C-alpha cells in the first residue's frame, strides 16, 4: 500500500496516536526512537537506564498524545520534552554516578565550535545565532543543562564556578535568548 | 509562586524546560501549567526554540526489546481487535498492564541480588469509577508503582501511597508519589506484603503532615501473588 509522505511526519503520527492507533505509535517509534534514545543516553549515560527511559517515554506518548495540541508547536519538540523530563527523573532516582568518573562528561559544551554541529534548518540557525550572541559562560551553561541534563551544581563543578554565579549565567542567558529569539 | 512579571515568567519557564529547577519548583510549575495559559505558552516557546540543541546528542539504536515492552504495556494480551480507543481503555487493559508491568520488571530492572520471593501485583482501582488507576509490582528489587490513569491530583496537592498490612487497619505511609506517576521503593515495612492493601490518598504537596491519610482515599488494591 502506498504511504503518503506526510505519514512519516511526527506531527501526523502523534495525531493518529491520539486517536488510539497503535500502528501510528509503532511508526513513530521506528521514526523517532534512535533520536530520542540518543537524547536519553546523553543524559543518563547508562544504556539500561536509557532503555527504561525510552520505554516510559513511549508509554507516556501513548497516554498523553490526546493532550498534545498543534499550537504547542512541532510534535518532535514535544517528544524531546517528554524524553528529557523522563531522563532527568531517572537521573534523580539513580544518581549520576558517572559524573565523577567520566572526565569527558560535558566536554562537548565547552568545545569552541559546538554550535556548528546544529542542523542547518531555519530554527536551528536562529538558535545558533542567538546562542552565539551570549556571553561564553552563559552559552555553555545553557548547553550543558539542555544537552547533558546538568543541574546548576553539575555545571558549577564542570565550569569551576560558584553555584550562585552559575544560576545567574543560566537565568541571564535565558533572558537574553528570549529577547533574541522572539519575533 | 509563579512570577507574574513576563520576563521573570519566561526565565522560570526556561529553567523548567532546561530541567534546572529543584523538585519543589518544578512541581509547582507542572501543576500550574494546566490552568495558566501564559505559563504554558512560555514553556512551549522554550520547548520549541531550544529543541534544535537536541541534535547535539548522537542518535543511537535502542535495544530491540524496548518496542515489545512498550507494545505489551499498551495492548491487551490477546491482541484481539479492539474498537477505537476511548479514554477508559486502561480499564479493559488492566490485565495487559499487569503482564506488562511484570515484563518491564523483568526486562529493565537493574539486576539486583535475587531473592526467592515471587513477584506480587496489586491493581489499584479508583474508589469512584472502579477503573484501574495504578499498578504496583513487588519483586526482588522492591516495589514499583506505575500510573495508568490520566487523572492527576487536584492543584497544589499530591498523591501519597499507603500500605495496610493484612488484618490491620492502620495505614503506614509509603511516600509521596512523584508527579511522573512512577515510584520505586527498595523495601516495604514489615507486614506490607502478600494480602496487604495499597491505597492512594490526596494530600498536601509534601505528604500528610500527621502520618495518617488526611484527604480522601482515591485508589485501593490488594497485593497478591501472581
Rounded-to-integer distance, Cα B196 and Cα B221, Å: 9
Q: Measure in Å the smallest separation between the Cα of A24 and chain B Cα atoms.
A: 12
Q: What percent of chain B has pLDDT over 90?
A: 32
B132's CB contacts (< 8 A; 6+ apart) are B90, B91, B93, B94, B97, B123, B124, B125, B126, B148, B149
DSSP state of A169: H
Alpha helices in chain B (DSSP H): 6-18, 23-33, 37-50, 65-74, 89-92, 94-108
Identify the top-confidence range among B50-59, B74-83, B87-96.
B50-59
Answer whether B70 sits within 8 Å of A147, measured CB to CB: no
Answer whether B52 sits within 8 Å of A170, measured CB to CB: no
- Per-residue pLDDT reduced to its tens digit, A84-97: 999 999 988 876 65
Supply the mean pLDDT for chain A. 87
Residues 18-77 of chain A with CB under 8 A from chain B are 19-20, 22, 25-26, 29, 33-35, 37-39, 41-43, 47-52, 54-56, 58-59, 62-64, 66, 71-74, 76-77
* pLDDT of the residue at B1: 74
Shortest CA distance from B107: residue in chain A: A52
Instruction: Tell whether A170 lies on the interface with B, counting CB pairs under 8 A.
Output: yes
Whether pLDDT at A19 is above 50: yes
Mean pLDDT of B12-40: 90
More confident: A42 or B100: A42
Which residue shows C-alpha cell 512560555?
A: B42
Question: Looking at this predicted complex, what is its ipTM?
Answer: 0.91
More confident: A124 or A69: A124
Confidence of residue B141 (pLDDT cuts 50, 70, 90): confident
- Per-residue pLDDT reduced to its tens digit, A97-116: 554 445 556 666 666 677 88
B142's CB contacts (< 8 A; 6+ apart) are B184, B185, B186, B187, B188
Answer whether B62 sits within 8 Å of A51, measured CB to CB: yes
Q: What percent of chain B has pLDDT over 70?
A: 81
B-chain CB neighbours of A25 within 8 Å are 70, 74
Q: Measure in Å the smallest separation between the Cα of B125 and chain A Cα atoms.
A: 18
Which residue shows C-alpha cell 554550535?
A: A115
Mean pLDDT of A122-144: 94
Amino acid at each position: 500500500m502506498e504511504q503518503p509522505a506526510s505519514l512519516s511526519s511526527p506531527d501526523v503520527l502523534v495525531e493518529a496516536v491520539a486517536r488510539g492507533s497503535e500502528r501510528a505509535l509503532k511508526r513513530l517509534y521506528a521514526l523517532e526512537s534512535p533520536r530520542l534514545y540518543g537524547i536519553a543516553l546523553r543524559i543518563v549515560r547508562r544504556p539500561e537506564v536509557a532503555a527504561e527511559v525510552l520505554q516510559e517515554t513511549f508509554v507516556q506518548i501513548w497516554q498523553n498524545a490526546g493532550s498534545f495540541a498543534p499550537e504547542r508547536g512541532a510534535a518532535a519538540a514535544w517528544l524531546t520534552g517528554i524524553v528529557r523530563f523522563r531522563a532527568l527523573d531517572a537521573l534523580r532516582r539513580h544518581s549520576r554516578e558517572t559524573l565523577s568518573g567520566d572526565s569527558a562528561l560535558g566536554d562537548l559544551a565547552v568545545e569552541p565550535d559546538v554550535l556548528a554541529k546544529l542542523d542547518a534548518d531555519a530554527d536551528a540557525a536562529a538558535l545558533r545565532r542567538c546562542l552565539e550572541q551570549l556571553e561564553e559562560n552563559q552559552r555553555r551553561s545553557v548547553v550543558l543543562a539542555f544537552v547533558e541534563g546538568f543541574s546548576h551544581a553539575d555545571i558549577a563543578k564542570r565550569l569551576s564556578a560558584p553555584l550562585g554565579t552559575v544560576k545567574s549565567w543560566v537565568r541571564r542567558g535565558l533572558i537574553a535568548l528570549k529577547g533574541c529569539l522572539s519575533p | 509562586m509563579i512570577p507574574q512579571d513576563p520576563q521573570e515568567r519566561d526565565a522560570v519557564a526556561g529553567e523548567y524546560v532546561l530541567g534546572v529547577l529543584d523538585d519543589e519548583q518544578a512541581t509547582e510549575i507542572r501543576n500550574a501549567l494546566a490552568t495558566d495559559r501564559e505559563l504554558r505558552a512560555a514553556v512551549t516557546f522554550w520547548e520549541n526554540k531550544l529543541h534544535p540543541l537536541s541534535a547535539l546528542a548522537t542518535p543511537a539504536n535502542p535495544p530491540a526489546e524496548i518496542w515489545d515492552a512498550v507494545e505489551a504495556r499498551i495492548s491487551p494480551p490477546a491482541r484481539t481487535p479492539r474498537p477505537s480507543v476511548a479514554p477508559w481503555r486502561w480499564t479493559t487493559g488492566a490485565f495487559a498492564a499487569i503482564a506488562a508491568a511484570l515484563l518491564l520488571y523483568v526486562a529493565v530492572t537493574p539486576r539486583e541480588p535475587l531473592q526467592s520471593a515471587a513477584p506480587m501485583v496489586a491493581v489499584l482501582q479508583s474508589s469512584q469509577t472502579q477503573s484501574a488507576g495504578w499498578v504496583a509490582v513487588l519483586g526482588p528489587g522492591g516495589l514499583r508503582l506505575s500510573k495508568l490513569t490520566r487523572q492527576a491530583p487536584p492543584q497544589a496537592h499530591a498523591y501519597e501511597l499507603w500500605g495496610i498490612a493484612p488484618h490491620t487497619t492502620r495505614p503506614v505511609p509509603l511516600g509521596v508519589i512523584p508527579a511522573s506517576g512512577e515510584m520505586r521503593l527498595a523495601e516495604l515495612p514489615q507486614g506490607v506484603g502478600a494480602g496487604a492493601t495499597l491505597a492512594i490518598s490526596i494530600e498536601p504537596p509534601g505528604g500528610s503532615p500527621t502520618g495518617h491519610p488526611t484527604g480522601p482515599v482515591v485508589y485501593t488494591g490488594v497485593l497478591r501473588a501472581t
